[in-house]
Amino acid sequence: MKVYVITAVHNRKQITERFINDLKNQTYKEEIILILVDDGSTDGTSDMVRKKYPNSIILQGNGKLFWGGSMNKAYKYLKEIVCDDDVIFYSNDDSHLGCDFLDKAINVLNLYPDNLLTGCAYGINTGYYLDGPVYFNLNNSEVTNLSAGSEGNCTSTRALLMKGKVYRELGGFHPVLLPHYASDYEYTIRAYKKGHKIISNPDVRYDFSEDTTGDNSHKNLSIKKVFSKRSKLNPIYKMNFFLMIAPVYKMPAFITYQIRNFRNHERDSGKTL
Beta bridge partners of 87: 3, 163
| Claim to verify: residue 48 and residue 79 sit in the same structural domain | yes
| Claim to verify: residue 158 and residue 34 sit in the same structural domain | yes
CB atoms within 10 A of CB 158: 20
CA 207, 209, 213, 215: dihedral to nearest 10 degrees?
120
In a domain, 13, yes or no: yes
**Cα separation of 247 and 240, whole Å?**
12
By DSSP bridging, strand 116-123 and strand 198-208 are parallel
| Claim to verify: residue 176 and residue 246 sit in the same structural domain | no
**Cα separation of 178 and 138, whole Å?**
17
| Claim to verify: residue 133 and residue 35 sit in the same structural domain | yes
| Claim to verify: residue 54 and residue 132 sit in the same structural domain | yes
Residue 262 vs residues 48, 82, 258, 269: alpha-carbon distances, Å: 41, 41, 6, 11
| Claim to verify: residue 248 and residue 120 sit in the same structural domain | no
| Claim to verify: residue 40 and residue 103 sit in the same structural domain | yes
In a domain, 86, yes or no: yes
In a domain, 217, yes or no: no
Read off the CATH number of the domain in which 134 is found. Answer: 3.90.550.60
pLDDT tens track, the chain, 273 positions: 999 999 999 999 999 999 999 999 999 999 999 999 999 999 999 999 999 999 999 999 999 999 999 999 999 999 999 999 999 999 999 999 999 999 999 999 999 999 999 999 999 999 999 999 999 998 878 899 999 999 999 999 999 999 999 999 999 999 999 999 999 999 999 999 999 999 999 999 999 988 876 544 445 557 777 767 778 878 889 889 988 998 888 778 777 877 776 676 555 555 544
Tell me the whole-structure pTM to 2 decimals: 0.89
| Claim to verify: residue 185 and residue 61 sit in the same structural domain | yes
Number of domains making up the chain: 2
In a domain, 186, yes or no: yes
Please report, as a single letter, which amino acid is at residue 118: T
| Claim to verify: residue 91 and residue 178 sit in the same structural domain | yes
In a domain, 215, yes or no: no
- Which helix (H) or strand (E) segment holds residue 259: the answer is helix 251-269
* Domain carrying residue 257: 223-269
**Cα separation of 132 and 202, whole Å?**
10
| Claim to verify: residue 123 and residue 238 sit in the same structural domain | no
Given a contact cutoff of 8 angstroms between Cβ atoms, the answer to whether 187 and 134 are in contact is no
In a domain, 213, yes or no: no
In a domain, 216, yes or no: no
